[in-house]
Chain A
Amino acid sequence: MMRVLSNLNPQTLRILALLLVLTLVILFFSTQISNYLNGRLFNRISSSVAIMALIATAQTLVILTRNIDLSVGSIVGFTAFATGSLIAAFPNMNPLLLVAFSMLVGAGFGAFNGFFVAYARVPAIIVTLATMALFRSLLVEFADGKSITSSLLPQWLTSFPNTPLFEIGQFQFRAAFVVAIVIVFAVHIALQRLRVARRLYAVGSNPEAAEMAGINLKATVFVAFVCSGALAGLAGFMFLARFGNITVVAGLGFELKSVAAAVVGGVNIFGGSGTVLGALIGAILVDLIETSLVRWQLVSEFWREAVLGALILTAVALDAIVMRRLIALRAARHHEKREQKMEGTG
């Protein structure tokens, strides 16, 4: 078994393992909760994953380059509020223009982070720790004690996340979810196939080597932050559409949730390896467990976070141990083959 598995690409292996865990979790809860496996579960998970998937993707782009973005929650909060105020002031605005606005605001914040990390060479954890507070205080200043309510928003915006695009059996595929999934897959394919996007991996796994190979380190890190900011801005738009009511605490705590989703999804916190697809499954897994625990009769809903913390720790520890084993196994087999070759020639 181990032999066959070790032939696979570690990234593929990780995604297979995550899908296996996801299936096991679903099977487990379906034995525990009556009437669990139905369309409503899918709808519930898919509406919140629409937001989390974008944020996890945003976080992954930055983590791949050996950085971290703790300000995503504040970016989501600010863009949600700013986008809401804009549409409230101009109700007849073109929807695409509104989306572009939210992504632009997010990208602006990302550029601010990226400038300090890439060009001023301030460690990302310091910059984004600071901007997490800074962007949030900008939001407080901007909001000036007011909040956005769904009555201020046009009908199309608040109904957008719940509009079913198509249905497969009981499963409704709603607009927000479909958009988010399409974006995640697009980013995934770009990261695997595009030369420019592969630079993120190169920079994250070995900055010196990447520079030797002619990659512009600073520009790459800067662009990663800008893209991450734009995705967080889009998530802000989704947040506004889904909840309608936005206060100054919107998106609070998303930074740690996004890191958790990415890490559970097998993205290496030290950069250079991991996939956006993994982060998406990580986000789904985290969300599925959170939602299911609330409905599980056997434990009180207050166990949700405690179980989640234990789960993340187990997932990461198992991942590290299995990966170490696989690497050792591969090295041993490589050695074996070489010995055989030596015997053959000798």
Chain B
Amino acid sequence: MTERSTLSAMWARVQTWEGFLVCALIFIVLMNTALSPQFMTLSNQINLFQLSIEKIIVALVMTFVIINAEIDLSVGSMMGLAACAFGFLFQQGVNPVLVIPIVLLIGAAGGALNGYFISKVGLPSLVVTLATLIGFRGLARVLVEDRGITDFPDWFDRLGQQGLVGPIPLAIIAFFVLFAILYVVLQRSGFGRKTYVIGTNRDVAAFAGIDTARHKMILFIASGTVSAFAGLLYAARVGAVRGDVALGFELDIITMVLLGGVSIFGGSGTLLGTLLAILIVLNLRNGMALLNITGHIQTGVIGILLIASVLLPRVNLGGFLGTRKQGEAGS
């Protein structure tokens, strides 16, 4: 390969949406480093992940759901339900080691409920998961009413708050392990291929012999289970649960996925894009926090970014930004 073609290959890389996200990320990190000497410390970097770790774990599964041309609005409520179910069962004296698998099963069951109405009854996922957003939250409130539950066992709190490998806590390790597994599944496996095909055109996928109902069922069960897992992580990190745990998280999660270049109409986007969007959102929020900008304003800035993420690729500054609609499976 000549030097010239290597260069043009690199140039082609930069022109993708992911390439643009990388550039944006580098810019934000450099800005943050210049703004604050605290930014590039290991403890700040860990803190930056820890503060939103539950959201970004769920964002990985949400990527699958949206590529499949569906949406799951119930994830935040499921996180809340899982955390409250843990607190409730723990308070009833059930052994915490036993409670964890029970809570994950609750997550799977909630996901299966969504999946049943979406794939078997044929209702739009927006409507079904809107109803379960209200319903799961309701169940969480039934379990803990208006109390707060705290005093979990020490080992549980430690898992959520302290380093597991060196200074790195369990949740961050879980995030990267899950990312690696899901990356292979989405971009390198038949299951991932089917996710794209169904998302692009469900009828064509069905004609090609794919069991689309079963596929969607699996995705929603996965979404429910991972949300329940994230809810457990939340309970461990905060060391207490209340009825309003993870309220409104679904919108932040969906924003991260869409910012990563996943089309809301399904069929395109990559997990790498989601990871980059997550890093951008985390670094941007961290940087703004260092500048004493409050949470609501931070969310507003992310909102502007979200609209820009759809508009920017169309502006096509001399071919620089390329198209967002690249990155079918395995790119």
Contacts and interface: CB of A to CB of B under 8 A. Distances in A.
A256 B255 contact: no
B142 interface: yes
Contacts of A300: 142, 145
A320 B134 contact: no
Given A126-B306, A316-B123, A320-B122, A134 B134 contact: no
A308 interface: yes
Contact of A126 (B132, B133, B258): B258
A339 interface: no
A305 B137 contact: yes
Contacts of B73: 256
Nearest to A286: B134
Interface of B is mostly: helix
Interface in A239-290: 248, 256, 259-260, 263, 269-270
A133 B302 contact: yes
B296 interface: yes
Contacts of A259: 130
Q: Which of A138, A302, A320 has the most CB of B within 10 A?
A: A302
A133 to B, nearest CB: 4
Q: Which of B122, B141, B294 has the most CB of A within 10 A?
A: B141
A134 B132 contact: no
B131 interface: yes
B322 to A, nearest CB: 18
Interface stretch (A85-93, A116-124, A155-163, A186-194): A116-124
Interface residues of A, number: 44
B264 A313 contact: no
A317 B117 contact: yes
Contacts of B307: 116, 122, 126-127, 130-131
Interface string B281-301: 000000000000010110111
Contacts of B301: 137
A302 B258 CA distance: 34
A320 B122 CA distance: 8
Interface of A is mostly: helix
B96 interface: no
A309 interface: yes
A136 B299 CA distance: 9
A140 B135 contact: no
A300 B251 CA distance: 29
B135 A309 contact: yes
Contacts of B251: 70, 129, 132-133
B135 A310 contact: yes
B121 interface: yes
A126 B302 CA distance: 12
Nearest to A319: B123
B310 interface: yes
A263 B264 contact: no
A122 B312 CA distance: 11
B254 A302 contact: no
Nearest to B296: A140
B141 A306 contact: yes
Interface in A309-325: 309-310, 312-313, 316-317, 320-321
B241 interface: no
A120 B311 contact: yes
6 contacts: A70-B251, A129-B258, A131-B303, A136-B299, A259-B130, A260-B131
Interface of B: 73, 117, 121-124, 126-128, 130-139, 141-142, 145-146, 243, 251, 254-255, 258, 264-265, 294, 296-297, 299-304, 306-307, 310-311
8 A-B pairs with the lowest CB-CB distances in the bound complex, closest first: A309-B135, A137-B300, A305-B138, A306-B138, A130-B303, A133-B303, A309-B134, A312-B131
